[in-house]
Chain A
Amino acid sequence: MLSISGVHTFYGSIEALRGVDLEIKAGDIVSLIGANGAGKSTLLMTVCGKPRAARGRIVFDGEDITIKPTHEIIASGIAQSPEGRRIFPRMSVLENLQIGATTADPAHYDRDLERVYDLFPILKERSNQRGGTLSGGEQQMLAIGRALMSRPRLLLLDEPSLGLAPKVVQQIFRTIKEINEEQGVTVFLVEQNAYHALKLAHRAYVMVTGRISLSGSGADLLANPEVRAAYLEGGH
């Protein structure tokens, strides 16, 4: 569904991605783990065209999206829940969701809204409340729900567990699984919380300083001694 080949991305003269190859099959949850500053978020943002890949190719459903402007990439069926959630704090929950539906066909807006409210009932309760007054976990749910409002085929999630309590993290990951299994949305998950991300993943990649250093099924990587030593045994 999404194939990234030989992608290099620069911030000025700093090379953040040094030739990344990555494949996402339709229907999968694919996790990308790695340390701070490895380039995980940069890869997600490069898929969305901001910053743009300096070299390499990104193909989504047979279409080269490497040099498309961001709004066209989003319109073609990719949605992103950005790092740090970035909900609109002064706008209500419902308005946040409506803005998520910008690129979608208004004909199925009502159904999409219902679907998001089914996934996150708390958002329905809070629909008239300002986004900024939600708790961290609720804001994350709003960010994911907002992304789903555009009816994506591929959902990009950047660190959905960031700064959340363990119990909330579990709930978020359960929902991600639900989105994938019941609604058939392909998920590309970028995480520092390696344990959860690998457990959930059909396929996983490990990124070190701008390159993919390891790949395999989620279970394989979870059992891999190198991965365990570097990403798992500190925290879990």
Chain B
Amino acid sequence: MAAAAEHRLDPVAALKEAGLAGFVALMLAVPLAGLETVSAPGGLTINTRWDWVAIAVGSVFIGRLLLILWRERGRRRGGPTMDLGIAETLRTAMPILAAAGIAFAVLLPFLPFADRRVLDIGILVMTYIMLGWGLNIVVGLAGLLDLGYVAFYAVGAYSYALLAIHFDLSFWLCLPLAGALAAFFGYLLGFPVLRLRGDYLAIVTLGFGEIIRIILINWYDLTRGPDGISGIPRPSFFGLDFARSPPPDGHTFHTFFGLDFSPLHRIIFLYYLILVLALVTNAFTLRIRRLPVGRAWEALREDEIACRSLGINPRNTKLTAFTLGAMFAGFAGSFFATRQGFISPESFTFIESAIIVAIVVLGGMGSQIGVVVATLVLIAGPELIRELQEFRMLAFGGLMVMIMVWRPRGLLAFRDPTVRLHPPPRRRFGLGRGKAAETGAK
């Protein structure tokens, strides 16, 4: 095998490379793992943990060696065969995976391990999935990098809080109103940014997100500024509250259904509420992708000049994407407000926008299931690895680096066509032979 001979592993070079990685690890590990501050009588003292440093450096060194070996093996086989294989398998398994995921999400509250903590993480994850799906319309489909998405989330949350407190409107009435208000703000932001592209669009949307937050802090009469709004009404189950003691002339949820009171009822209800909202977002996106406007979004992401030459009106197309994306953020925002019972501008900082964008980009732009997977990695991951204590963020960072190395275009980077003329012909070539396998239609 000539190819194998060309790429024979050079042990000296490999050792050198691993040694260099080990050296970098040493420099990082001494301050990160080697020194520990301990409170002692008379102030903080510093303990040294050289054994930890040795473990870190050793594992990096050996890990690097293994990585080199793995890389050489891949090179010998030639090309990214494995990636295509995974993509192809995932593509066929996608509907099953999706159905299993939804079934799991529906059954989650009844599973034996579903305690308060699991359900809280579930609600948190579903909220971000919904935000990711909403932003996927703007970033994933229409290709407009929006770094201020949290502004619409905030508009939705404050709309619900203020409407519910001042006008005593129910959650189900406030929800569409909050969505409409957020959509209106999306429309407003859409106008000035229509002419911008790429980096410039990102900067302006980033600014918009900050403007909304600063308005929320400073417009004290309306928003009570940094104090936030508390006592936001909880949603009811078709008029039934989740309180322990029923009002004198009525029922609460548990008395109506003859259940024992449990604080979990409300949590489970909130969980299903956000699950339904998220699934509605998803169904909407899947449907609209097949309509002309959805196709125009994707076409606009691919090539704006070509779109123009085909008679697509880029202004209206971008505006619909911005407006609809903002609407779903508004829905999610009012859910957030009713779940928390308290909101303040603190909850709507830039980092939230960054996380949502990261979810969309990491999942693979435009991929609905990618958003779910990325949310599990980004939101549930750090929650579940709290046991790692101070190394949590380190592990998280390492995970991100690995994803960027192995799946640089997102976890699920392939795109499923919205229509097929006829069932794809059976592949005659094996996986991993260039175009044929990639498209499955040659």
Contacts and interface: CB of A to CB of B under 8 A. Distances in A.
Interface in A87-102: 87-92, 94-95, 98-100, 102
A52 B42 CA distance: 77
A92 B419 CA distance: 8
Interface stretch (A31-39, A125-133, A171-179, A223-231): A125-133
A80 B441 contact: no
A131 to B, nearest CB: 9
Interface string B411-435: 0000101111110100000000001
Interface string A49-65: 01000000000000000
B299 interface: yes
A91 B419 contact: no
Contacts of A48: 308-309
B303 interface: yes
Interface string B295-306: 110110011011
A94 B424 CA distance: 13
B417 A87 contact: no
A52 B302 CA distance: 24
Interface stretch (A8-16, A17-25, A67-75, A186-194): A67-75
B311 A150 contact: yes
A92 B420 CA distance: 9
A73 B309 CA distance: 9
A70 B299 contact: no
A103 interface: yes
Residue from A92, A146, A147 having most chain B Cβ neighbours under 10 A: A92
A91 B299 contact: yes
Contacts of B13: none
B197 interface: no
B418 A95 contact: yes
A105 to B, nearest CB: 12
A45 B405 CA distance: 42
Given A126-B441, A129-B439, A86 B311 contact: no
B343 to A, nearest CB: 39
Nearest to A131: B302
A124 interface: yes
Contact of B312 (A82, A90, A102, A126): A102
Contacts, number: 97
Contacts of A82: 305-306, 309
A127 B421 contact: yes
A111 to B, nearest CB: 15
A89 B298 CA distance: 11
B441 A88 contact: no
Contacts of B307: 99
B77 interface: no
Nearest to B419: A94
Contact of B310 (A91, A94, A99, A127): A99
Contact of B311 (A70, A87, A88, A92): A70
Contacts of B241: none
Nearest to A152: B311
Nearest to A127: B421
B410 to A, nearest CB: 13
B313 interface: yes
A74 B311 CA distance: 5
Interface in A128-144: 128-130, 133
A70 B292 contact: no
Contacts of B306: 82, 86-88
Interface string A100-117: 101100000000000000
A91 to B, nearest CB: 6
A130 B439 contact: yes
A48 B311 CA distance: 10
B309 A99 contact: no
Given A74-B309, A99-B310, A94 B303 contact: no
B309 to A, nearest CB: 4
A102 B438 contact: no
A70 B314 CA distance: 10
Interface in B306-351: 306-313
Nearest to B423: A128
Contacts of B303: 86, 88
A98 B299 CA distance: 11
B439 A99 contact: no
Contacts of A102: 292, 296, 310-312
B417 A128 contact: yes
Contact of B415 (A90, A128, A150): A90
A71 B415 contact: no
Residue from B292, B298, B310, B424 having most chain A Cβ neighbours under 10 A: B310
A124 B305 contact: no
A102 B308 CA distance: 11
Nearest to A73: B311
Contacts of B435: 133
Given A74-B311, A88-B298, A91-B298, 18 more contacts: A50-B308, A69-B313, A70-B308, A71-B308, A79-B311, A82-B305, A86-B303, A89-B302, A90-B302, A90-B415, A91-B415, A92-B419, A98-B419, A99-B295, A102-B292, A126-B441, A128-B424, A128-B439
28 contacts: A48-B308, A69-B313, A70-B309, A75-B311, A79-B310, A86-B303, A86-B305, A88-B298, A88-B303, A90-B298, A90-B302, A91-B415, A92-B417, A94-B421, A95-B298, A95-B417, A95-B419, A98-B295, A98-B419, A99-B295, A99-B296, A99-B299, A102-B296, A103-B311, A127-B420, A128-B420, A128-B441, A150-B311
> 3 tightest A-B contacts by CB?
A74-B311, A86-B306, A103-B311
